[in-house]
Structure 1
């Protein structure tokens, strides 16, 4: 009996270590891909610079003809792609794991629409731009997120009620955005549509410190709560037995995820499907044994960097990053809905 128990424990240990190795390998591979794509973004463009020239410019040297392109255009674009990818990837995976539903993505349950409606209002009605529009998007995104959460509280918290409330809110806000676009002048509509498409064009270096502070602050807090999130996935009864303050941890994780989405969206606009795709892709790569928070974040960065390069240089015309990620996300959404229908699952 003791020998049988020892063999079972040995099998469990071997399996655990195998999953650990796979997870570490996946994380390191995604980190390498992110670094490689970031380097390509800095080197490649209408003018191709050598790595040596890029390093000289980044170290502060004044290389004629390269300083503006590298420091003002490519560096903010690359850093924003990485940070927003981290934010969208981690936020999407947090909500999907917490609510136990692959449809619980910020761009499906109305969070990004909350930021978008304020930005479009600022551009079309108030004739604002730049930092003021971003600030409005942040506050509106957070306000709509809180509203969705409290509207879904009737009779106690329910994952399905939160998702359905979010989908309804997204439909309403999308209708409001469409109405504003129809009423606006043609010139203003072009500016609003550029923002709504989700784009890295025009991002500035001064936006980076604030975005980085939120991404690493909120993202770090989510990683610290990762163990409690894993316990919540076992069910409320088990989580309470293990000493988790369910309501407090759930609310904290939701607010942290929404904070990431609101700030990222305020800088780039709603980059479609990154939050939706990152978690499932990371899970497929690293296995089902972990909730893959770190790998989801790195997958988000890889998706944004790769999609921007594809949109800029691999297609006949140049497209914003949100168009490419939206194209990637649409087939997966259809596949997911068909899969859920075959299994008889509900939202």
Structure 2
């Protein structure tokens, strides 16, 4: 197949770019003819706030215009911000003659939900184009319901996210991790940007009683949206030995090692563009108990007391209680970790994710010639 692949690719690493890269690798491995347009931006800030970003968007649209013809499939990873959505609308316009070949992939969802459930001009334009395309790929039932209001349900495909194969641990590694529970390590691994809950997690630790603090070490990994934000956070945690920021980026074996050293993974997110966080599935694969929030697509991959502990959004007190619960459940943590790893083995493998999307493309391609 000839595929025009329009999506963010590393760097910077985030869930959306990782999912795009894993799919692209499979398409190339299967020897499809793939033309790539990279949507990645250099900053973690959302919005339309610099001339460089303006140039980037026009550059993307020019590349789409040049590569728009002679494709069997056009794959577009959707943006959710207002200006990102405008860029996607221009992609629809440029590719209008090939609109019936376009598959859009919603990695996230809350932002698009707001757009499609509105009643303004932006909602109407999005609905018009989406109704015309070949299909929509979503992470779960929430987004299925959102898109079913603007496109035939038969064109909507649910494909859940994944954890990379190298991350999966064996029983011995989980047992080794939990053999010493005197000090519980909690890992926060995501971008440190507003809405992700990293500040609330630090504040929850700071409010713990000293007896609890002595039993907990929290490690933060991820990039900040600005130097000012980083400086503020480093000042906040400076005097607390149990709070440690170890860097902006980690991947590969170093990331696996860090997950394997951590008993608990915490992502108390209320980020407006959150979807089904790959980091939670990575935590499952590496045998971590999870603390997270009832937000966006998370409830469809997480159950309270089964996979870990659910917290209220924006609630320092709720996170603090979850940490205390972890310390009170020390003898049950290994059982939860084993359950999480086994769940990931059955549901969240890279091959399952890749195979599902490739099958969608293959079915569309075959049906095109049967008509």
TM-score by length of 1: 0.24
Q: Which has the higher contact order (CA 8 A, sep 6+)?
A: 1
Which of the two has greater strand per residue? 2
Comparing both structures, which one devotes a greater share of its residues to helix? Answer: 1
TM-score by length of 2: 0.23
